[in-house]
């Protein structure tokens, strides 16, 4: 048979040769990488064809076989059968769990049946082709599968908002209290030193400085040029919650209590944003804290129990040009290191230098349980009072008028401390706003707003001595659907001193 004469070839082989002669590059880079892999491996019993369905589902694979597979056992895999979904944060590429296998009670797809036949070396080459050919020019050097988060930690731990739509799910029995992505499966690239499971758990809970230095970190730029940094093996990241982030930034909708000086004449009861402090009870890597800082608040006091989240927060602050102090709080609620006195003096000194100066502390990141938030901040307030004495004409160094409570499905565990903070640590103890994140039955949103106000009012009565406060739900932001029939809502509850 002469070269180019394929009239006597089996139909499947003819189709393969025809497609090689007339190649059109897919626009989807993931598909482009898969096609490059299939083209490279003539030993695979597969033909990629245009169309919307799989022609046959018979496949063979054996690394020891020759490069001429049996044409009668070819798999005719349509381009439309190939996976298309991915998330890229260069140099990181995340693929969904469906890339490697069908979900629970889900029948296998044409692609997952094919993937299951690949050897380890072939899979390694597949990911290499995806990175080097499919995403050529995109600086992709690491690939991981976003597997479900393994159950780990205490029963009752919940989900930090910002982690809720990143393609990962928490197992229902023992939620992962640290929200560490223990199900993340690296499949390509250098991810730093690997350890056995138990040693890896120790590294998550008690990392050393060298662990931070040797880990793989990545970053992305979001709203208004805000950069967020995280270590994918140790902390979660979600690109979602756009509406709430934009609301804090003042880009859309209404966010009570944060206005610029221009708008102050319109709503005189609101604060000048540059004198506002915020406590974020579940700060993570700065999902919402950075939006507050970008908006121009004076300072954010953030709490988290995951040391990798706090390190990501610190690195992110550095990238954005914000001074950040990391403060460890032990199991008894005591500030480690120099203690509260030194911390208050450092913050006060930065404020004395004036806004815009490099050493003005914009973020205080507490590594510890937020059940100590009111206690520690009360101690800081007392130190500020000692330093400031009876100085007149100065704004106080602590004026917390916003508490961000971003935990799903409920943030109730932190409501009490948040109420104590707003009613005692705002200027003239005038109160402020709770921004309460909750998962709510879509049929019960209005009733839930009333219930939230009633419960918060009860906490105010318990903690406000003889002072009187008026409470109202100023706004309910429906962020997005969390699950069928369940809405992620933010309840803006105003606590305002009466008289």
Q: How does DSSP assign 467-486, residue by residue?
A: --EEEEEEEEEEEEEEETTE
User: What is the enclosing helix (H) or strand (E) of 38?
Assistant: helix 29-40
Structural domain span for residue 287: 239-497
The answer to whether 225 and 295 have CB atoms below 8 angstroms apart is no
User: Is residue 56 domain-resident?
Assistant: yes
Q: The CATH number of the domain where 449 resides is what?
A: 3.40.50.150
Supply the DSSP symbol for 130: I
pLDDT at 201: 84
Entry pTM: 0.83
The answer to whether 256 and 474 have CB atoms below 8 angstroms apart is yes
Q: How many domains does the chain have?
A: 2
CA dist 48 and 39 (Å) reads: 9
Single residue among 145, 166, 190 that ends a domain in this structure: 145
Give me the half-sphere count of Cα atoms (radius 13 Å) on the Cβ side of residue 252: 10
pLDDT at 267: 38
pLDDT at 181: 64
pLDDT at 257: 80
Is residue 140 located within the same domain as residue 250? no
User: Is residue 171 domain-resident?
Assistant: no
User: Is residue 32 domain-resident?
Assistant: yes
Q: Please state the φ and ψ torsions of residue 64, each to the nearest 5 degrees.
A: -85, -10
pLDDT at 60: 37
Ranges of H-type helices in 52-117: 110-116
User: Is residue 313 domain-resident?
Assistant: yes
Is residue 126 located within the same domain as residue 275? no
Q: pLDDT (tens digit, 9 = 90+) per residue, 294-327?
A: 999 999 999 999 999 999 999 999 999 999 999 9
User: Is residue 24 domain-resident?
Assistant: yes
Is residue 260 located within the same domain as residue 140? no
CA dist 175 and 156 (Å) reads: 7
CA geometry: angle 236, 242, 243, nearest 5 deg: 135
Supply the DSSP symbol for 81: G
Is residue 330 located within the same domain as residue 479? yes
**pLDDT below 50 — which residues of the chain?**
1-5, 53-67, 149-158, 164-175, 260-270
Is residue 307 located within the same domain as residue 439? yes
User: Is residue 422 domain-resident?
Assistant: yes
User: Is residue 449 domain-resident?
Assistant: yes
Tokens of 335: 């500030």
Is residue 286 located within the same domain as residue 137? no
Single residue among 90, 121, 145 that ends a domain in this structure: 145
Is residue 469 located within the same domain as residue 322? yes
Name, in order, each residue with C-beta under 8 angstroms of 245's C-beta and a sequence gap of 6 or more: 222, 223, 287, 288, 291
Pairing of strands 87-89, 277-280: unpaired
Tokens of 430: 């005038």
pLDDT at 172: 42
CA dist 431 and 451 (Å) reads: 20
Single residue among 145, 164, 196 that ends a domain in this structure: 145
Supply the DSSP symbol for 414: G
Is residue 433 located within the same domain as residue 292? yes
The answer to whether 70 and 99 have CB atoms below 8 angstroms apart is no
User: Is residue 462 domain-resident?
Assistant: yes
């Amino acid at each position: 048979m002469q070269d180019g004469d394929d009239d006597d070839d089996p139909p499947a082989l003819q189709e393969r040769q025809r497609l090689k002669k007339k190649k059109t590059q897919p626009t989807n880079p993931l598909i482009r990488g898969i096609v490059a892999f299939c083209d490279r491996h003539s030993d695979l019993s597969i033909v990629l064809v245009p169309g919307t369905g799989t022609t046959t589902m018979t496949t063979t694979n054996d690394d020891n076989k020759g490069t001429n597979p049996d044409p009668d056992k070819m798999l005719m895999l349509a381009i439309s059968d190939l996976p298309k979904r991915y998330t890229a944060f260069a140099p990181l590429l995340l693929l969904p769990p469906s890339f490697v296998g069908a979900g629970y009670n889900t029948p296998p797809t044409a692609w997952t049946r094919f993937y299951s036949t690949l050897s380890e070396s072939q899979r390694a080459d597949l990911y290499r082709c995806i990175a080097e050919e499919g995403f050529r020019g995109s600086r992709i050097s690491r690939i991981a599968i976003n597997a479900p988060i393994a159950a780990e930690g205490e029963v009752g731990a919940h989900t930090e908002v910002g982690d809720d739509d990143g393609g990962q799910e928490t197992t229902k029995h023992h939620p992962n209290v640290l929200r560490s992505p223990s199900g993340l499966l690296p499949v390509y690239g250098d991810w730093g030193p690997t350890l056995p499971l138990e040693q890896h758990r120790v590294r998550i809970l008690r990392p050393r400085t060298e662990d931070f230095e040797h880990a793989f970190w990545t970053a992305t730029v979001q709203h208004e040029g805000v950069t967020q940094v995280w270590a994918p093996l140790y902390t979660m990241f979600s690109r979602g919650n756009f509406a709430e982030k934009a609301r804090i930034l003042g880009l859309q909708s209404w966010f009570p209590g944060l206005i610029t000086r221009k708008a102050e004449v319109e709503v005189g009861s609101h604060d000048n944003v540059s004198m506002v402090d915020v406590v974020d009870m579940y700060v993570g890597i700065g999902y919402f804290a950075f939006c507050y800082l970008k908006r121009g608040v004076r300072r954010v006091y953030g709490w988290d129990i995951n040391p990798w989240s706090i390190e990501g927060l610190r690195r992110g602050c550095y990238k954005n040009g914000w001074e950040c102090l990391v403060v460890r709080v032990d199991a008894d609620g005591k500030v480690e290191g120099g203690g509260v006195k030194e911390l208050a003096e450092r913050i006060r000194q930065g404020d004395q230098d004036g806004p815009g100066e490099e050493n003005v502390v914009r973020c205080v990141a507490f590594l510890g349980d937020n059940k100590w938030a009111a206690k520690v901040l009360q101690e800081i307030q007392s130190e500020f009072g000692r330093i400031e004495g009876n100085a007149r004409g100065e704004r106080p160094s602590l004026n917390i008028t916003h508490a961000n409570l971003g935990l799903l499905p409920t943030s109730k565990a932190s409501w009490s401390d948040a109420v104590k903070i707003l009613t005692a640590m705002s200027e003239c103890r005038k109160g402020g706003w709770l921004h309460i994140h909750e998962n709510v039955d879509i049929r019960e949103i209005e009733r839930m707003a009333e219930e939230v106000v009633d419960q918060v009012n009860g906490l105010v009565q318990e903690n406000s001595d003889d002072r009187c406060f008026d409470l109202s739900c100023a706004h309910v932001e429906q962020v997005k659907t969390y699950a069928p029939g369940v809405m992620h809502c933010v309840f803006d509850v105003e606590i305002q001193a009466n008289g």
